[in-house]
Structure 1
Amino acid sequence: MADYQTYNDNALLLRIAEGDEAAFSLLFNRYYQAMVSFVQRFTESAPVSEEIVQDVFLKIWMTRETLAAVTHCKAYLMTVAKNQTINALKKLAREQEKAREIQEAPQLQQETEDDPRFHVIDRAIDQLPPQRKTVYLMARHGRLSYEEIGRQLNISAKTVKKHMQLAIASVTAFIKANARLLLAFLFWLKFFSGALLFF
């Protein structure tokens, strides 16, 4: 990477287009903070902005073959960042609207809470070790980033990520182990409900 320090942006883009990871890493380090600051003007959230910029660089790497045609690197990066931010904010708005709809429909919420499938998921979460359960709930329900969770629990983001990986594996295994029992129960419930119609 040291040899690339004198490369201008367009030269780096050409190297990245050829799959050069060192050049990509240098471009990332060169523009990451500036792009986070740019995105944060729209999101007003540092964690959300960091996530968006990471997605931007992932997208750039996945479509790196097109970089050879880029002539103005900084303008290109900011344009991609702006588009990604707009998409992320639209998605967030849709999720917030969906959450409001659920809150305004208590009957639907009650039906969801009574669904035996959700009881299995709740049991899967309840059997997690205390800290792993806390991390899982903060990430999935609280929608906090690994960095935010780490700060609140006084652990590293890497440790938070490990807890999440183990939690997801454990919850998935629990659900699979109980899948047959759940299917049998649902079949019985459907059969029993139908049978009542004949009495």
Structure 2
Amino acid sequence: MNNPPVYNIENEHKLLLQIAQNDGVAFKLVFDHYWDRIYSMALTYLKSPLYAEDAVQEVFVKLWNSRLQLTAVRKFDSYLFIIARNEIISTLRKKIVHAPFYEYLSDELTEEVLAPDQQLDMKEFQTLIDEAIEKLPVQQQRVYKMSRLEGLSQEQISRELDISISTIKGHMTKALQSIRTQLSINSNKPTLLWWLILIAIKK
């Protein structure tokens, strides 16, 4: 008769081996142990409980989907927080860069969520982004607005402007580089959230 498995959060290496063997109980123990810390980290940068919860869920989905790799992990907390950092950046990219920035602020970053000084910071971000967009060459600006503000696909932009998809990609790459440069030069508030936004604008 086999002895039942023993679960101990203090023996993290054994827990990871159990998770790699599809042990849902071990996974839930890790999930419960790290949830609050990952959520707090996500909420700090995303400023929205809804986005933070979605990001944390995605972190643990990715952890489970890559569970076979856990046998090689030596420092699990660092491993998990790298996944979380990447997910936060991905969320910022989707919610701030790929959507109208002002709409994001208006809908999600309410006065109840942001302190007055944070509201000013976010308004500054929006103003600087708007100014950077207006400084783009005409065609870059047109492609950027159609993609990021109107939500059109590359195929739709290609048909609308009668230019190739490779040309569109070139315009977007240059536009994002220019916007990122302008933000780096003009911002006088180098907070971590600010740098995450700059990283998000890379793509």
The structure with higher relative contact order (CA 8 Å, sep 6+) is 2
Larger radius of gyration: 1
TM tier, smaller: 0.3 to 0.5
Q: Which has the higher helix share?
A: 1
